[in-house]
Amino acid sequence: MAHEVTLIPGDGTGPELAEATRRVLEATGVGFNWDEQPAGIDIYEAEGSPFPERTLDSIKATKVGIKGPTTTPVGSGFRSVNVLLRKELDLFACIRPCKSYEGVRTRFPETDIVIVRENTEDLYAGIEFERGSADNAKMREFLAQLGSPVREDSGISIKPISEFGSERIVEAAFAYAKENGRSKVTAAHKANIMKFTDGLFLETARTVAARHPEIEFEDRIIDNLCNQLISRPEEYDVIVLPNLYGDIVSDLCAGMIGGLGMASGANIGTEAAVFEATHGSAPKYKGLDRVNPTALMLSGVLMLRHLNEREAADRMENAIAEVIRKGDKVTYDLKLTRDDPTAVGTAAFADAVIEEMNA
């Protein structure tokens, strides 16, 4: 039976990346009924909303979406489509596999790590009090009453971390580990300093870990984790982190595996899942058929696994890996020099992956 999937091409280079990914997904032989829906700056300019209700309704109905990147204007305009999506659908777990493929230039060829980032809490909750505002004054007064005065010229952000949020993200990390043959989960935190937020996260992680004795569990203080990721990445398997550390460490790991063009991702909630690359819309390359579709294609591989199409997922991942290993039909960012005239475009890269799958 064909899978109903919402396809959101996005804007900038999104549509060309989404088209390349759609073609490769179809070439696996798995059946899809695509419901294509808009999001991003183009639909904002046409209709006044970057994330129309019909797009949200479609994902609620299909429960699975694959999304090209979308532009968020800096300083003005509208809120990030991704933030809206995560919030509206409570996509609380961001899963970002970071694996070095042969043929990609990297100092960390042994890397095979999965980042599981909490997506809804922490300093990202957006609870802020602007310096000089009335609410800031009230908050400072409250803090002073509690015996924790802060300077008058301070901006203030609040970091909520709950037992509920920690429990479900750590459970998601263990579930991912079990479903994907992983053997260890590491929880990252700064519980030595932030005892009531990161401390709660760590305490909850330990409780959850005790329910899964077949998977090894350890914890690391976040600064030490960063040091060890660079010095001995092969020791890490699945890493679960609160929102802000997860944001930073997943980009660090993307750098370790050859850059943003390689970094895939999934946003998972209880009711729906949306798959998308880590990178943005790279608008300067829009319409040039230039950028690397690997990150969105590997997000498609994650989607196939989510849909329980594991054999097709393995075939698609192996074909992508083989095209990268051979190195002749790859985009500019995977060549030794960025101006290598033998680099192919987005569509030709997809053709090479399809050819490899059919070989």
Contact residues for ligand NAD (CB under 6 A)? 69-72, 82, 260-261, 276, 279-283, 291-292, 295, 333
Q: Is 112 annotated as catalytic?
A: no
Other Cβ atoms within 10 Å of 324 Cβ, number:
23
Nearest residue (CB) to ligand NAD, 208 versus 291: 291
Nearest residue (CB) to ligand NAD, 140 versus 306: 306
CB-based contact 170:162 (threshold 8 Å): no
Nearest residue (CB) to ligand NAD, 233 versus 293: 293
Please state the closest distance from residue 279 (CB atom) to ligand NAD, in A: 3
- Alpha carbon distance 174, 185 (integer Å): 7
Task: Given the residues 57, 90, 135, 223, select the one marked as catalytic.
Answer: 223
Please state the closest distance from residue 8 (CB atom) to ligand NAD, in A: 10
Task: Given the residues 245, 247, 329, 332, select the one marked as catalytic.
Answer: 247
Backbone angles phi, psi at 6, to 5 degrees: -85, 125
Please state the closest distance from residue 237 (CB atom) to ligand NAD, in A: 25
Nearest residue (CB) to ligand NAD, 82 versus 186: 82
User: What are 229's two structure tokens?
Assistant: 């990721």
Q: Is 326 annotated as catalytic?
A: no
Nearest residue (CB) to ligand NAD, 276 versus 356: 276
Q: Is 190 annotated as catalytic?
A: yes
Alpha carbon distances (Å) from 230 to 18, 29, 264 = 32, 39, 20
CB-based contact 317:297 (threshold 8 Å): no
Task: Given the residues 44, 101, 124, 245, select the one marked as catalytic.
Answer: 124
Helix (H) or strand (E) holding 241, with range, is strand 238-241
Q: Where are the alpha helices (DSSP H) in the chain?
A: 14-27, 41-47, 53-62, 81-88, 134-145, 163-179, 198-210, 222-231, 243-256, 294-306, 310-326, 346-358
Q: Which amino acid is at 311?
A: E
Please state the closest distance from residue 332 (CB atom) to ligand NAD, in A: 7
Which residue in the shown chain puts its C-beta closest to ligand NAD?
A: 280
Q: Is 57 annotated as catalytic?
A: no
Task: Given the residues 87, 159, 178, 190, select the one marked as catalytic.
Answer: 190
Catalytically annotated residues: 124, 190, 223, 247
